[in-house]
Amino acid sequence: MSHPLRGKTAIVGIGNTKRWNAPGRSPFDQLQEAAVLALEDCGLRMGDVDGLFCAMSTSGLPVLNVAERLGINPRHADGTMVGGASFLFHLQSAMSALVNGLCDTALICYGSNQLTAGGKLAAMPDPQPYEAPFKPRYPISSYALAAARHMHEYGTTRAQLADVAVAARDWARLNPDAYVRDPLTRDQVLSSRMVSDPLTRADICLVTDGGAAIVVTRAERARDLPRKPAYVLGTGVAVSHRQISAMPDLATTCAVESGQRAYAMAGVGPKHIRHLMVYDAFTINTLLFLEDLGFCAKGEAGALVSGGAISPGGQLPVNTNGGGLSCNHPGMYGLFTLIESVQQLRGECGARQIDGVELSLAHANGGVLSSQATAILGTAATL
Amino acid sequence: MATDPRFDGPGPDAQYLQALNEGRLMLQHCEDCASVRFPPALVCRSCGSPRLTWRLSPGAGTVYTATTVRDKAGDYNVALVELEGGARMMSRIEDVPSQEVRIGQRVSGRIVAGDEPYVVFTLADGAAA
Ligand SMILES: [Zn+2]
């Protein structure tokens, strides 16, 4: 018996500003441009949007700010803020709202000027008094603590972490829209400046500007729109902690739960997935999510990536746009995972296109491995 | 306006800080499932019970994981320490070069008093991993 939300909605429009270094543009400028692009992509108008979903690290009242700027009066809205995974939480919320008639056209959107604002995360009113006295370099030290634990428990090596960065770069070199496309070797990563052991500068994602948006609607309407729909077959979300000191097991994330929920709704498993996007804010993320989403056994992701599986030409293409490590990372990267998955399903990816992609998994992370969200998208053939 | 007396008095953060300032590391123990809670809260994270009791902790623990933050002004240690019962706190391991801190080392705590007191750790005697 199929899940009542399986395949009932589809991503029909995508917008990506690709403005990774854009002085003079505010986060709202990036968001608005992306929203226009996404609606034009699917032939809908701003006035059609009646469900608004957004989150920004620079706005405490994003729905209000965005509705005003876009000139829309949504009858359903959700500004859930769980860091970079927010937009996949929004996707799950939009599916339910669409299927239950609370809205007909959902716009999920984001904008950031993190690079031109000085490369710093905007200070959020979210103090962590039990961690602050020890001055962890936020967020990298949190991921470094997880990486150190993973290395201790499973023998994961720095060279294996480096191979994640190299694979991402090799994909970016095939993507004309990636921000960084210079050649990168394992030795270059390993000799990069250490920032918070065991993570070096090259284990850390880019800092860029950017804007992204998607339009989601019910499947029966999606068929009448100009673009090949990317049907949402399953989603799953999970939350496990806020501060890294409260993470139950630093070598295992709650992507285990978000993944199981998404697989159950979609009625597929990792063995069916031939393309995936995982939120690689740091190299350790890719290893954790390959394991926790079931693409290899726990502790074996290091060996998987060092064998070339996730690189161009490998058996399991991962982060084919170049990822947060080499394509772009405006602070909350999650929506860009969905956009690449949609483009792969549409067959629009040029030199980096994977042949015959019918199913794609997009996974996003928020906070310090705190929130996890998984979405499984498919073409009409998978319905 | 009758309030529920179970929740009367200062909140858990205030009680924790007050004890630290009096020289005592106090941790919350769940009366229903025996979990140890840190950071302080009103509800057991394991079972949802509000029946938490403060008990004195000897401050003994082990290094769960650690990193060295490379700062222009000098490298320093940031660690997660697991105390008895499984409560885990961020802290630093002092009196040893940060690079020599290892997962599994036994450590003992010391309170740093002040407006916002906190606990730091040193390697326990004879500790090795
Ligand atoms: Zn309990």
Question: Is B64 part of the contact surface with chain A (CB cutoff 8 Å)?
Answer: yes
| Confidence grade of residue B129 (pLDDT, cut at 50, 70, 90) | very low
Structure tokens at A371: 């929130």
Share of chain A above pLDDT 90, in %: 97
**Residues bordering ligand 1, an ion, CB closer than 5 Å:** B 30, 32-33, 35, 44, 46-47, 49
For ligand 1, the distance from its centroid to the CA atom of residue A355, given in whole angstroms, is 51
> Which residues from B are below 8 Å from A195, CB to CB?
69-70
The chain A residue lying nearest B63, using CA atoms, is A149
For residue A121, the model assigns a pLDDT of: 55
pLDDT tens for A216-264 read 999 999 999 999 999 999 999 999 999 999 999 999 999 999 999 999 9
Interface contact B64-A250, CB threshold 8 A? yes
Q: Work out the average pLDDT over A266-273.
A: 98
Instruction: List the single residue in A144, A196, A245 with the smallest CB-CB distance to B90.
Output: A245
For residue A119, the model assigns a pLDDT of: 53
For residue B125, the model assigns a pLDDT of: 72
Q: Does the pLDDT of residue B128 top 80, yes or no? A: no
Q: Work out the average pLDDT over B35-61.
A: 96
Share of chain B above pLDDT 70, in %: 97
A128 touches A122 (CB < 8 A): no
For an interface test with B, which of A134, A195, A252 has the most B Cβ atoms less than 10 Å from its Cβ?
A134
For residue A14, the model assigns a pLDDT of: 98
Question: Is A127 part of the contact surface with chain B (CB cutoff 8 Å)?
Answer: no
Q: Work out the average pLDDT over A353-367.
A: 98
A211 touches A33 (CB < 8 A): yes
pLDDT averaged over every residue in chain A = 97
Interface contact B67-A144, CB threshold 8 A? yes
> Which residues from B are below 8 Å from A197, CB to CB?
67-68, 70, 99
pLDDT tens for A50-106 read 999 999 999 999 999 999 999 999 999 999 999 999 999 999 999 999 999 999 999
> Which residues from A are below 8 Å from B45, CB to CB?
246
The helices-and-strands tally (H runs, E runs) of chain A is: 12, 11
Q: Which of B111, B89, B109, B14 is nearest to B54 (CA)?
A: B14
For ligand 1, the distance from its centroid to the CA atom of residue A373, given in whole angstroms, is 27
Q: Which of A138, A89, A148, A143 is nearest to A372 (CA)?
A: A89
* CA dihedral angle for residue A293, residue A299, residue A300, residue A303, rounded to 10 degrees: 130
Task: Please tell me the distance in Å from A138's CA to the nearest CA on chain B.
Answer: 10
pLDDT tens for A124-152 read 678 999 999 999 999 999 999 999 999 99
pLDDT tens for A303-327 read 999 999 999 999 999 999 999 999 9
> Which residues from B are below 8 Å from A130, CB to CB?
38-39, 89-90, 118
Identify the residue with better confidence: A117 or A344: A344
Q: Work out the average pLDDT over A141-166.
A: 98
> Which residues from B are below 8 Å from A245, CB to CB?
39, 80, 88-90
Q: Does the pLDDT of residue A122 top 60, yes or no? A: no
Would the pTM count as exceeding 0.90? yes
